[in-house]
Structure 1
Amino acid sequence: MKTTENSYSNNIIRLTYCGMLIGLSAVGAMIKVSGSIAFDSMPGFFAALFLGPVQGAIVAALGHLLTAATSGFPMTLPMHIFLIIEMGLIAYLFGVIYKKRGAIVSSVVAIVLNGPVGTLIAVPLSIIFGLPFNGWPLFSTLIVPLTLASVANVFLAMLVFKALNKRMN
């Protein structure tokens, strides 16, 4: 009986943390770098470390949804749906790689996937979805701010996670 109660209590705590981090993503979504680039993914990256890759993916995906919604879906809804999935996948991989390879490798992978690789993937998708601003001009415009925001989001998530771990142990 105690195991069931502890499991139930643990699930409520994890769900509460997820809700709080999604709320923090909403706040980060209001801090825009450029267009729909914002500080919404830091809570998702942190959740991937603190709660696990699946919860990190959920928080990161919903964080991008909130940023896109507060920006008016500037890259169209279909493109942002793809980006929501992409953000969830990147946060998930960040959490998985952190467990297997540590902070440096997971951070580099997350930054590269979220910055240059994500922007590169957006090039053909922007053409397919018929965005007015598409292709290589889109890439050259987004690569620097998106990569810098990725560095900040991943670094802050890792910093908070490490500080919290140090305090809890």
Structure 2
Amino acid sequence: MTNTKTYEKITTTKLTYSGVLIALSFIGAMIKYPGTTIALDSMPGFFASIFLGPVYGAVVAGLGHLLTAMTSGFPLSLPMHLEVMALMAFTAFVFGKVYIKGFKILSNVVAIILNGPISAFIAGILASILALPFSGMALFMAIVIPLTLASMLNIIAASTLFEIIKKKER
């Protein structure tokens, strides 16, 4: 007999919700932080992590970033945006895992740090490795504040929406 706690069961309902949340990510991808390509695309991914499960959230968040990159014309190159997509997916997964274990505030703080300063730092390093003209410390300094602020907005909105829905179900 298989232990159902070791994997997330795929259901038609979860796939349908995922599709709707990916569509909402596309809408969020159109709402960009002024002067940057940073957008409000990740809230549906963070929400999916706690509503549907961390794996679903990772997929929605990763695709949400890819949609933002596509609507911006992949300004930092496709390899760079694939790396950011992986970081988004990882952050959403960790957020969901920690939140579901009952550490709600900690999950928000960890996700904001992962999606803000740590992702900005890794992006700066990768951009340098890829020899992009805008990279290293310059890229980090340019994106760390708007990325952290957008992360805060997306993550807090996702957890607040989840708690509101959860209270309505009672």
TM-score range relative to shorter protein: over 0.9
Residue deviations 1:37-68 (CA, integer Å, cap 9, x gap): 10000000000010000000000000000000
**Runs of 5+ unmatched residues, structure 2:** 1-9
**How many Å separate the matches in 1 of 2:132 and 2:108?**
31
Shift of 1:26: 0.3
The one-letter amino acid of 1:23's match is A
The residue that corresponds to 1:14 in the other structure is 14
Q: Which has the higher helix share?
A: 1
Asked whether 1:147 is paired with 2:148, we answer yes
Q: Is the 8 A contact 1:94 1:106 kept in 2?
A: yes
> Which AA in structure 2 matches 1:112?
I
Query: What is the Cα deviation at residue 122 of structure 1?
Result: 1.3
| 1:26-37 superposed matches below 5 A | 26-33=26-33, 34-37=35-38
Instruction: Write the distance in 1 (CA, Å) between the matches of 2:125 and 2:17.
Output: 37
The alignment's C-alpha RMSD in Å is: 1.0
Deviations 1:2-45 (A, max 9, x none): xxxxxxxx811111100000000000000001432100000000
Task: Please give the alpha-carbon distance, in whole angstroms, between the structure 2 residues aligned to 1:66 and 1:98.
Answer: 25
TM-score w.r.t. the length of structure 2 is 0.92
Alignment identity in percent? 52
Unaligned runs of 5+ in 1: 1-9
Q: Deviations over 1:70-108 (max 9, x none)?
A: 000011100001111110010000000112242100000
Paired residues of 1:29 and 1:66 also in contact (CA < 8 A): yes
Q: Which amino acid aligns with 1:36?
A: T
Are residue 122 (structure 1) and residue 115 (structure 2) matched? no
Alignment of 1:92 onto 2:93: yes
**Letter of the aligned partner of 2:129 in structure 1?**
I
Q: Deviations over 1:108-137 (max 9, x none)?
A: 000000000111111211111111111111
Query: TM-score w.r.t. structure 1 length?
Result: 0.92
CA contact (8 A) 1:35 1:71 kept: no
For 1:32, the aligned partner's letter is: K
Q: Name the CA distance, whole Å, in 2 between partners of 1:91 and 1:28.
A: 16
Supply the AA of the counterpart residue of 1:104: I
Structure-1 separation of matches of 2:66 and 2:124: 20
Structure 1 runs (4+) deviating above 3 angstroms are: none
Spell out the pairing of 1:52-63 with structure 2 (5 A cutoff): 52-63=53-64
Which residue number corresponds to residue 163 of structure 1?
164
